Structure 1
C-alpha cells in the first residue's frame, strides 16, 4: 500500500494519496492518533489532507472490512534561513549564491520576489541557487519552499549595470598618484576601479560618485573600468598618462 508523498509539513495541509486494494468506502484515515480529511475515495485509492503532526507517524486506512497495515509518514518542519552568501547582484541575474539555514534538504523552489528558481541541495543546512533576472532594480524578499512549508525573512537587492558619465581630471603623470573623481550611476556597490587594467585604490562617495588614485602607467590613453555588483562600466581612453619633461 504505497503513500505519496510520504512527507509533509508539520502544520498539516499536505494532499496525500494512499493506494492499495479494497479501499472503497473508507471511513477513517489516521496519521498517528489524528484523523485526516478524506477528499476522494475509490476501491484502489484514498486521497486525504494530512493533519498537523511531528516526527514519523503510522498511517492506516479503516473500511468496513477492518484497518490496513500501517505506512510511515514523515513530518518536516518549516525551513529556516540564516543568511545569503551575497545579498546583491546584477539585475540580469545569472549569478550563483549560497543559502544557509536548517531543514533545507527537501527544498524545491527559491523565490526572489515574484521570480523563482530551482535550487541545488548541498545538505540539510545549505542550498545553492542561480539567481533569476529581476523585474526592476531594488530589494526583494527571498523565500525557500520545502516539503515543510515556505519561509521568508531575507532580502536580496538587484543592482542595475553601472554607467560612467565623466572622469576628472582626464590626465596625469605616468608615476601615478593623481586623485580622480568618477561620476556616473549605480556606483554604490563598486568592487574595483582599474586604469588600463591595473587596479587602483578607490572610495565610494555615493551612488553617483567614486574617487580613485591612479596607479603608475605607461604614457598614453587607457580605459577606466568600474566594476560593481551589477556589472562593469568602461570609459574608453578615459584617462591619459603624460610622460614627464626631459632635457
Structure 2
C-alpha cells in the first residue's frame, strides 16, 4: 500500500495519496496518534491531508474490515536561510548565487520577489540557483521545501550601466592619462578596461567614473566598465596617440 509523498511539512497540510485494495469506507487515516483529513476515498486509493507532527510516524488506514499495516511518513521542518553568496545582480538575471542554511535538501523552488527558479541541491546546507530576471530594486528571497517556506533574505536588482563619453578621449601610448567616463548606473563599477587592459579607477558618482589609462597601442581602444548590473562599452572610446620620432 504505497504512500505518496512519504514526507511533508511539520506544520501539516500535505496532500497524501495512499493506494491499495479494500480501502472503501475508510473511517480514519492516522499519522502516528493524529488523524488526517480524508478528502477522497475509493476501493483502491485514499487522499488525505496530513496533520501536524514531527519525526517519523506510522500511517495506518482503518476501514470496517480492520486496520492496515503501517507505512512510514517523514515530517520535514521548515528551511532556514543564513546567507546569500551575492545580494545583488543585473536586472537580466542569469547569474548564479549560492544559498547556505539548513533543511535545504528538499528545496523545490527559490523565488526572487514574484519570479521563481528551480535550485540545484548541493547538500542539506547548500543550494545554488540561477537568478531569474527582475525589476530594479530590492526583493525578498523565498526558499520552498517539503517542510515549508522561509523568507528572511533580500536581493537587489541593479540597472544595467550605460557609458556615453570620455573626457579627454585621447592620450599617449605610454598611458597615464586621467580620464572621466560619463554615463549612468556606474555606482557599482567593479572594473574598467581600456583596450582590454585593466585600468585603475575611482567611482565619482552614479554618472561619473575616473580612470588612469594603462599603456596601449596607437589607435582607437574600447573602454569597458563592468558593474553589478552588467557591462557598458564605449567602442573606440579612447584613442592612443603615438609620440614623435626622429
Alignment TM class, shorter chain as reference: over 0.9
Shift of 1:230: 2.1
**SS of corresponding position for 1:205:** strand
Shift of 1:168: 1.4
1:33 match? 33
Shift of 1:207: 2.0
- Structure 1 CA distance, aligned partners of 2:238 and 2:110? 44
1:128 match? 128
What is the 5 A alignment of 1:1-247? 1-134=1-134, 136-245=135-244
Shift of 1:246: 5.1
Q: Name structure 1 gaps, 5 residues minimum.
A: none
Which string of whole-angstrom CA distances, capped at 9 and with x for unpartnered residues, describes residues 187-219 of structure 1? Answer: 122121011111001122222221211112223
- Structure 2 CA distance, aligned partners of 1:212 and 1:172? 13
Q: Name structure 2 gaps, 5 residues minimum.
A: none
- Structure 2 CA distance, aligned partners of 1:116 and 1:105? 18
- Structure 2 CA distance, aligned partners of 1:113 and 1:57? 35
- Structure 1 CA distance, aligned partners of 2:195 and 2:140? 38
**SS of corresponding position for 1:12:** coil
- Structure 2 CA distance, aligned partners of 1:188 and 1:6? 50
Which string of whole-angstrom CA distances, capped at 9 and with x for unpartnered residues, describes residues 70-104 of structure 1? Answer: 10000001111112222222212222222211111
User: After alignment, is 123-132 or 166-175 more displaced?
Assistant: 166-175
- Structure 1 CA distance, aligned partners of 2:205 and 2:61? 66
- Structure 1 CA distance, aligned partners of 2:22 and 2:184? 70
- Structure 1 CA distance, aligned partners of 2:59 and 2:205? 60
- Structure 1 CA distance, aligned partners of 2:14 and 2:93? 32
**SS of corresponding position for 1:167:** strand
Aligned Cα root-mean-square deviation (Å):
1.5
How many equivalent pairs are there?
246
